[in-house]
Amino acid sequence: MDAVLQLTKNRRIDLLDTIQHSLGITLNVPQYLKSETGQTAMDRFIKSTEWRNWQWKEPSDFARMAIDAFSKRIRREGFIGTRHISFPEHQPLYRFTLFSRHELAEKFWNAILKIDESGQRELL
């Protein structure tokens, strides 16, 4: 998060983040929970220890909450968050999110992610 926050100081930058949803967060939930006093990768990812108080049932719920906390932190820096894209959609391994300070970025993001009737993504 420190590197991302450093990048946000540039007023003309957009951020396209790849979040390792399943491999980086979901599978590591037990390791995060084992460390009660030390800094974990999750503490650094969301720049907070608030996750220790979250109520969740499945590791995938925890991962969703972590991504939401990350996105909220970036939005506090003045960025507009666009919709998350998960690959693959039904069992996501990765989440992609574009953050920008300009609304035009969402128009470009949605055009790039155009999906046809068979579910195929088209790059325009």
Phi, psi of 115 (to 5 degrees): -120, 130
pLDDT of 118: 64
Half-sphere exposure of 9 (CA within 13 A, CB side): 6
Contact by Cβ (8 Å): 32, 59 = no
List the end-to-end C-alpha distance of the chain, in Å, as a whole number.
Answer: 31
The one-character DSSP state at 8 is T
pLDDT tens string 53-73: 999 999 989 999 999 999 999
- Report pLDDT for 66: 94
DSSP 66-103: HHHHHHHHHHTTTPEE---EEESSSS-SEEEEEEESST
pLDDT band at 99 (very low <50, low <70, confident <90, very high): very high
What token pair was written down for 24? 């980086």
pLDDT at 74 over 70: yes
Question: Which pLDDT score, from 0 to 100, does residue 2 have?
Answer: 85
Mean pLDDT of 108-120: 71
CB-count exposure of residue 39 (10 Å: 0-12, 13-18, 19+): exposed
User: 120: part of which helix (H) or strand (E)?
Assistant: none
